[in-house]
Amino acid sequence: METAGPILSISVQVKGEKELEEVLEVLRAAGAGGLWIQLCMDSEALQQVSLWDLLDPVHDAGVRISSIRVVDIRPESELIEKLAVVASETAGRTAIISSPNPQDLGVLEEWLQVFAAYQARLLLEPRSARETHQLYKSLRELIGGVLGFSQVQENFPSTEHFLRVLTPYLQMTHNVQVSNYGEGRVARILTLGVYNNPLLLRMLVSHGYSGQLTIGYEKAPASLSFLLEEHRAVDSFLKSLEEKI
């Protein structure tokens, strides 16, 4: 995954093997070979699906998994190791836990050991400035670079607010998720809506950010065709920014 700039992906929510196959069929028809995708699922789906039933269809479709994102996993869950195993077999070797984050250093140390054993990375997704700072105080006690941050812009009211939280911890942040809305509906990433994404993208490129940049909508559904269109637009915008640096 070595690259000079951000690794651009789209977030795809799946509830099981059938839904994954439907998503991959659309991607094949769109000629999206080589595309990076984030697979987002709940803990029940992760528990039920087998490793190769999840990964083999993705490989056959010619797309790459940047990260596996689970939205409701419990700190003590036996699924932590399965998540590490799945992540270790993907191109991105990254898992993301999007749920109330543990402040207990012992839990974080256990997670670190599990993911280090499988040579994978685990990103935790704080949902506020306060939670980010509290989690940072715990993470800085640990070594190895296995644990880090994933930050979702939708957790914050504006891009300016988001940047105030994101920038101090950018070196520990390995995934940034972007979206946009206007009049309560999904809006194109580069238009001026609730968020000012051109400002955010310029900051990321100017700071040399080379982690994952994920296009994903949480508050309203976005079609796969829409996500692919946005991927092309953002990819072109990033290339133009990188040429100017």
Q: Decide if 228 contacts 26 (C-beta within 8 A).
A: no
* pLDDT one-digit tens code per residue, 106-148: 888 999 999 999 999 999 999 999 999 989 988 888 877 899 9
pTM of the predicted structure, to 2 decimals? 0.94
Residue 122 located in a structural domain: yes
- The span from the CA of 225 to the CA of 64, in Å, is 18
Residue 60 located in a structural domain: yes
Residue 2 in this model has a pLDDT that exceeds 50: no
pLDDT bucket at 244, cuts 50 / 70 / 90? confident
Q: Decide if 20 contacts 54 (C-beta within 8 A).
A: yes
Secondary structure (H, E, C), the chain: CCCCCCEEEEEEECCCHHHHHHHHHHHHHCCCCCCEEEEEECHHHHHHCCHHHHHHHHHHHCCEEEEEEECCCCCCCCHHHHHHHHHHCCCCCEEEECCCCCCCHHHHHHHHHHHHHCCCEEEECCCCHHHHHHHHHHHCCCCCCCEEEEEEHHHCCCHHHHHHHHHHHHHHEEEEEECCEECCEECCCCCCCCCCHHHHHHHHHHCCCCCEEEECCCCCCCCHHHHHHHHHHHHHHHHHHHHHC
Residue 27 located in a structural domain: yes
pLDDT bucket at 4, cuts 50 / 70 / 90? low
Residue 40 located in a structural domain: yes
Q: Decide if 112 contacts 84 (C-beta within 8 A).
A: no
Judging by DSSP bridges, how do beta strands 173-178 and 181-182 pair with one another? Answer: unpaired
Residue 2 located in a structural domain: no
Residue 170 located in a structural domain: yes
Residue 1 located in a structural domain: no
In the chain, how many domains are there? 1
Instruction: Name the least confident of 50-54, 82-86, 153-157, 159-163.
Output: 50-54
Residue 3 in this model has a pLDDT that exceeds 70: no
CATH number of 15's domain: 3.20.20.150
Q: Which domain holds residue 163?
A: 7-244
Residue 95 located in a structural domain: yes
Instruction: Name the least confident of 125-139, 161-175, 215-229.
Output: 125-139
